[in-house]
Structure formats: C-alpha cells, structure tokens
A and B are shown apart, each in its own frame.
Chain A
C-alpha cells in the first residue's frame, strides 16, 4: 500500500495496525460493474454469498465515499479515461481488485487485431488483487476480498486478531 499511495509521513505503530484492521474489515466497494462480472459481483453481495459479513457489503455509488474499486468487466478504450478519473477521485488509502479475466488481461476479447479494449486494468491503474474467472464465482470474489484484507493487515486471516491483542 505504501508503495502506491506514498510512504506515510507519521508512523503510528500499533495504532496503524489497528487502523489497518479497521480498514480491512470495513471495505466499502464502489459500484463499478462494466459487463458480465458485475452480475456475479451483485450475486456476491446478495443473500447467499453475502459480502456484508466481511464488512464489504456497502456498495457506494460515489468514488469519494469508497475505498475499494472492483473493476468487474472489460475496459474498453472509450471507458478507460473514466476508469482512471474514478480511481483518481477515490481518497487514499484505496485498493483495486481486478475481477474477471477481462480486467486481468483482456480475457476472451484479447486477440491480435483487437482495436476496442484495454487488455488489463493494470495498464491504467495499479491493481492489488486479481480474481480470475470468466466470470469468477462469487466465492472467488470473496476469496479475493479476503486476500486483500490479508494484504492490508499484513498478516494471515486467522492470526490477525490474536497478534494485535498481544
């Protein structure tokens, strides 16, 4: 995170760990469904797969209020400036999950004469977690969010509470 959003000016020690825990457990995603993967993102937020139990169920329409951008779908060249603008509008600390093969590398639409898409979200914005699949199952997206939480707290899923309490 520090490499992408700049090293923090003040190191707060244990408070930072607590802050990271808070950030990881209440990620607010932005509703950014571009194509088919958006439906699986909605299914992940719905009743059976329930993103809300991880604290990540509050999808905010506005980038100013969100800290996680789930790029779900193919980025076309026409849409790319909008993606970059939305990323820049999000306040730091912010993270990006590239969901689906299209956001990772262009997916099934990448071929030699392709003129219309950007083959991968990481060509235009920094991506933290890649969730493969076409579309990935909602469980896959949940695994991606949990991996992001591990990345934010810099510790494994099960140990994080025990270590902070020590």
Chain B
C-alpha cells in the first residue's frame, strides 16, 4: 500500500510534514511539505516507490516567497502525493532533473514564467516566451500595462 510505504520511505528525510490528504476535497492522498534543498532526496525516494512526476509548478505565494508544488502519482496504484516547498525569492532551488528527466522541461517553464533558477539544471533557458524576453509574467508584480501594438519585426 503506497499510502503506507511512501511515508515510510520519506521518514528518514525528516520532512516538515507528511500527512494524509482529503482526496475528495483536494484530489491528493498524501500531503508533504519539504524544503527545496530536500527535494532531490524526496524525488529519489518517490522514484524508488515507482511514482512518476505528474506536474511541477510554482505559485507566487507572498511578497517574500514562492511555493514550488510537485505532484507525483503511480501507474499501478492510485496514490497522489503533493509536495509543497517554500522558496524565498531570489534564491535558487536544486533541480530534480537528474532523478526525473521529465522535470527538465517543467523546471524550464517555471524559470520562464516565474524567474526561479534551478541549480544544476543542464539547460536552463526560456521555454515558452522568446529567448530574449525580459518578463516573468506569472509573478504577481508583473506590470499591468502591456504593449498592445507590436512593431513590425525585422
């Protein structure tokens, strides 16, 4: 039962919180809170349990911090784990792309839209916006005025 074996696998990492979640309300069976520095170890442990990385995103929670949100699920048994990691602004988070190669693009997208850098990422370039863009649009302080008319590009 993954609901038991995942908390057991995460126990040696001394995470802040490993609690069962309310599936009917939130869609997740396990709710975990960790620091970004612990994320590679968490990812290793979950890969050992046979989980795949469902989604990796960030939320601009407050003026001082982002929250990185990782969702993991499993092909053979229904057990969704959500991991929240609070990251202070202007700090780097370690990458998990050496554990889950699928995280490569997710982390690039988070860098593109939020400006969060991932230490150890092999190719941290912008993914969705043009390479020379200077904005990080999903930050809450993204300016309200945007250029309406595009100049004819050369």
Contact = CB atoms under 8 A, between A and B. Distances in A.
Complex A–B touching at CB under 8 A: yes
Interface of A: 77-78, 80-81, 84, 112-116, 118-119, 123-124
Interface in B102-149: 129-130, 135, 137, 142, 144-146, 148-149
Nearest to A82: B153
Nearest to B130: A78
B150 A113 contact: no
Contact of A114 (B146, B152, B154): B146
27 contacts: A77-B150, A78-B129, A80-B150, A80-B153, A81-B153, A81-B154, A84-B152, A84-B153, A112-B144, A112-B145, A112-B146, A113-B144, A113-B145, A113-B146, A115-B135, A115-B137, A115-B142, A115-B146, A116-B129, A118-B150, A119-B148, A119-B149, A123-B149, A123-B150, A124-B150, A124-B152, A124-B153
Contacts of A80: 150, 153
A87 to B, nearest CB: 11
Contacts, number: 33
A80 B151 CA distance: 10
Contacts of B135: 115
A113 B142 contact: yes
Q: Closest 3 CB pairs between A and B?
A: A81-B153, A118-B150, A78-B130
